[in-house]
């Protein structure tokens, strides 16, 4: 049995209270929302904070509502709530689909969209017990000096494994952050960085307060595809999010983001040349699928054949676009 390390559990009444608690215990504290990822990671001794600050009862982190020209989703809303929300389903079906395909039902009832955006990266050599990791001499991300994937000690390439961020990126969403220095808003497209140890621009004493998604025009079509070993529960081996602005079945703009391969989601480039001003014909779909394949290079950070995952990029992109066509 894996036991949790000891910690003190704090229940702030509001956002300011939560931020003050994070500052008071700086260096020995982490926020906890649903705990569906943090607690298993603490059992694996990947994190051992002496203090946890609980976010689920912070009122400022709740609510799904239209706010001017955007849909605002509070960070502490559960994935289940997001997946069934009528506004999300009406305006952003790919987000409802992604949230509804995270893990399994119990985890979606506890896990939050904020926790999903802040999910730690994952790796075959990292998400293991201390005994397992010690036997291999640990690794760069935690307690060691070398990366077992790249075989050098310079960079961690653990996989970004959350389902909602690639979709949020294609929808032009932003992350609303609050910290000791005040509030700021960062586009999801600029939020993630290619560093598997800490893969976002969020400071450790900042909280995600909400996600803000611009309300779409009438021509937006969206799709989400997820490849995993067991559809009932597993993390993604690959996911593909697409948003296409269309008028009379002709593509205006196409945004495509692929994830679960490297440390951050990756936007596929060059799609305007392939699809702009055209219908989603078989030729356009095939060329876009090949473009995505050329730009994706999975690593052996997940215990599934990297060449097969790469081949599946083209397959899943084709399925996503055929669904839209
Ligand atoms: C068996 C299993 C299968 C899973 N499958 C998937 C899957 O298919 N897809 C997927 O995306 N995830 C999966 N997960 C991971 C997890 O359940 C989800 O990502 C979930 O959304 C995490 O949210 P949470 O609220 O539980 O986060 P927590 O576990 O509470 O926190 C996760 C991290 O985010 C930080 N955090 C949480 N909220 C905030 C905030 N508002 N501001 C700043 N930091 C914050 C925490 O400090 C922690 O570092 C799986 C987990 C398990 C155990
Ligand atoms: S990618 Fe390398 S450094 Fe990062 S968790 Fe995996 S083995 Fe460790």
Residues 204-221 have pLDDT tens digits of: 999 999 999 999 999 999
pLDDT in tens, 266-309: 999 999 999 999 999 999 999 999 999 999 999 888 889 999 99
The CA distance from 42 to 142, in Å, is 13
Tokens of 229: 């070993």
Atom 4 in ligand 2: residue holding the nearest Cα: 156
Question: Which ligand gives the minimal distance to the CA of 194?
Answer: 2
pLDDT of residue 153: 74
Structure-token pair, residue 122 = 């994952």
Question: How far is residue 207 from each of residues 64, 117, 178, 271, measured CA to CA in Å?
Answer: 18, 11, 5, 34
Residue-level pLDDT at 183: 97
Determine the atom of ligand 1 nearest the C-alpha atom of 208: 42
From the CB of 280, is ligand 1 less than 6 Å away?
no
Report CA(68)–ligand 1 centroid distance (Å).
29
Query: What is the token pair recorded at 170?
Result: 């294609």
Ligand 2 site-directed mutation target among 196, 263, 302, most atoms within 8 Å of CB: 196
Q: Is 123 touching ligand 2 by the criterion CB < 6 Å?
A: yes
Answer whether 262 contacts ligand 2 (Cβ < 6 A).
no
Dist. CA 304 → ligand 2 center (Å): 15
Note the pLDDT of residue 192. 98
In this predicted structure, the answer to whether residue 246 has a pLDDT above a threshold of 80 is: yes
Closest ligand 1 atom, CA of 107? Answer: 17
Pocket-testing residue among 35, 53, 111, ligand 1, by greatest number of atoms within 8 A of Cβ: 111
CA of 37 to the centre of ligand 2 (A): 18
Q: Ligand 1, closest atom to CA 228? A: 8
Say if ligand 2 is within 6 A of residue 127 CB.
Answer: no
**What distance in Å separates the CA atoms of residue 115 and residue 39, rounded to the nearest whole number?**
12
Model pLDDT, residue 151: 87
Instruction: Please name the residues in contact with 268: beta carbons below 8 A apart, sequence gap of 6 or more.
Output: 256, 257, 258, 288, 291, 292, 295, 317
End-to-end CA distance of the chain: 50
Chain centre distance of CA 190: 13
Give per-residue pLDDT as tens, 12-60.
Answer: 999 999 999 999 999 999 999 999 999 999 999 999 999 999 999 999 9
Q: What secondary structure does DSSP assign to 2-59, as a single string?
A: PPPPP-EEE--SSHHHHHHHHHHTTTSEEEESS-TTHHHHHHTTS---SEEEE-TT-G
Interval 225-247 mean pLDDT: 95
Evaluate: CB of 192 within 6 angstroms of ligand 2: no
d(CA 205, CA 28): 11
Q: Is the pTM of this model over 0.95?
A: yes
Positions of E strands within 160-234: 174-179, 182-187, 207-214, 220-227
Mean pLDDT (the chain) is 96
Interstrand relation of 207-214 and 70-74 (parallel, antiparallel or unpaired) = antiparallel
- Count the Cβ atoms, other than its own, within 10 Å of residue 286: 15
63 phi and psi, to 5 degrees?
A: 105, 140
Ligand nearest to the CA of 157: 2
Half-sphere exposure of 298 (CA within 13 A, CB side): 28
Q: What is the model's pLDDT at position 118?
A: 98
- The protein residue whose alpha carbon is closest to atom 2 in ligand 2 is 147
Are the beta carbons of 163 and 119 closer than 8 angstroms? no
Distance from the alpha carbon of residue 290 to the mean position of ligand 1, in angstroms? 32
**Per-residue pLDDT at 1:** 84
CA of 124, closest atom in ligand 2: 6
Question: What integer pLDDT is reported at residue 189 of this predicted model?
Answer: 98
236 C-alpha to ligand 1 centroid (Å):
13
| pLDDT, tens only, 95-136 | 999 999 999 999 999 999 999 999 999 999 999 999 999 999
Question: Got the DSSP string for 53-100?
Answer: EE-TT-GGG--EEEETTEEEEETTSBHHHHHH-HHHHHH-HHHHHHHT
162 lines ligand 1 (CB under 6 A): yes
Report which ligand 1 atom has the smallest distance to the Cα of 202: 43
**pLDDT, position 279:** 95
pLDDT, position 200: 98
Tokens of 21: 């608690």
pLDDT band at 152 (very low <50, low <70, confident <90, very high): confident
pLDDT in tens, 168-217: 999 999 999 999 999 999 999 999 999 999 999 999 999 999 999 999 99
pLDDT of residue 243: 98
Ligand 1, atom 9: closest residue by C-alpha: 102
């Amino acid at each position: 049995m894996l036991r949790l390390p000891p910690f003190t559990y704090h229940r702030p009444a509001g956002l300011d209270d939560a931020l003050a608690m994070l500052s008071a215990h700086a260096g020995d504290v982490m926020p906890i929302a649903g705990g569906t990822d943090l607690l298993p990671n603490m059992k694996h001794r990947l994190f051992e904070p002496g203090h946890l600050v609980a976010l689920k009862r912070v009122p400022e982190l709740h609510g799904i509502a239209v706010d001017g020209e955007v849909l605002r989703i509070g960070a502490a809303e559960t994935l289940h709530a997001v997946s069934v929300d009528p506004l999300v389903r009406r305006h952003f079906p790919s987000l409802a689909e992604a949230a509804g395909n995270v893990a399994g039902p119990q985890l979606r009832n506890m896990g939050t969209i904020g926790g999903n955006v802040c999910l730690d990266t994952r790796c075959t050599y990292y998400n293991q017990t201390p005994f397992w990791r010690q036997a291999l001499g640990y690794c760069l991300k935690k307690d060691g000096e070398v990366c077992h994937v790249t075989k050098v000690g310079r960079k961690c390439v653990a996989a970004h494994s959350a389902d909602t961020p690639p979709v949020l990126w294609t929808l032009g969403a932003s992350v609303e952050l609050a910290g000791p220095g005040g509030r700021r808003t960062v586009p999801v497209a600029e939020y993630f960085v290619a560093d598997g140890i800490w893969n976002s621009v969020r400071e450790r004493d900042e909280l995600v307060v909400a996600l803000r998604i611009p309300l779409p025009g009438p021509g937006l079509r969206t799709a989400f595809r997820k490849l995993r070993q067991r559809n009932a529960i597993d993390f993604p081996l690959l996911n593909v999010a697409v948003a296409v602005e269309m008028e009379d079945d002709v593509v205006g703009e196409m945004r495509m983001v692929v994830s679960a391969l490297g440390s951050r989601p990756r936007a596929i480039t060059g799609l305007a040349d392939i699809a702009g001003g055209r219908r989603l014909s078989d030729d356009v779909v095939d060329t876009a699928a090949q473009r995505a394949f050329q730009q994706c290079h999975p690593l052996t950070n997940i215990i599934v054949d990297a060449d097969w995952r790469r081949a599946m990029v083209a397959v899943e992109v084709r399925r996503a676009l055929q669904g839209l066509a």
